[in-house]
Amino acid sequence: MPTSPSKTLETFPNPAPDRDYQIHMEIPEFTCLCPKTGQPDFAILTLDYVPDRLCVELKSLKLYIWSFRNEGHFHEAVTNRILDDLVAATQPRFMRLVARFYVRGGIFTHVVAEYRKDGWQPAPRVELAEFPPSSNVRG
């Protein structure tokens, strides 16, 4: 059955809604068109989020990302639109989208957009002591 681009983002219930945990996704094949020239723009998208009650379903995310391929967008606008759409679909505790656009006219563009649910604070980071490699242990 052939698939086609779609603006629909599907979700599924978070399997661990009582825990803060990070979901990390790398999307290396994002494309859209330059709204000025019509030439293709290519980017690597990095999505990090802490889900609340819902997670984004991967196939729908793939088809959603594909839906921008023939549309003209400025880098800043498309990054913020994708973040807004993902936040609307999943209502996460935290979400960050980094869009690293390939060079165009000698300039690389990186756009970082974030969302934080009102009142949500991340737990303090735990730093564990590093142990020496076993080859350095004398016994």
* Residues catalogued as catalytic: 34, 41
The CA distances from residue 40 to 47, 52, 67, 101, in Å, are 22, 35, 14, 11
Please report, as a single letter, which amino acid is at residue 136. N
Instruction: Reduce the DSSP state of residue 88 to 3 states and report it.
Output: helix
- d(CA 19, CA 28) in angstroms, rounded, equals 29
Radius of gyration of the chain (CA): 19
Give 104's strand partners. Answer: 107
**CA-angle at 99, arms to 97 and 103, nearest 5°:** 170
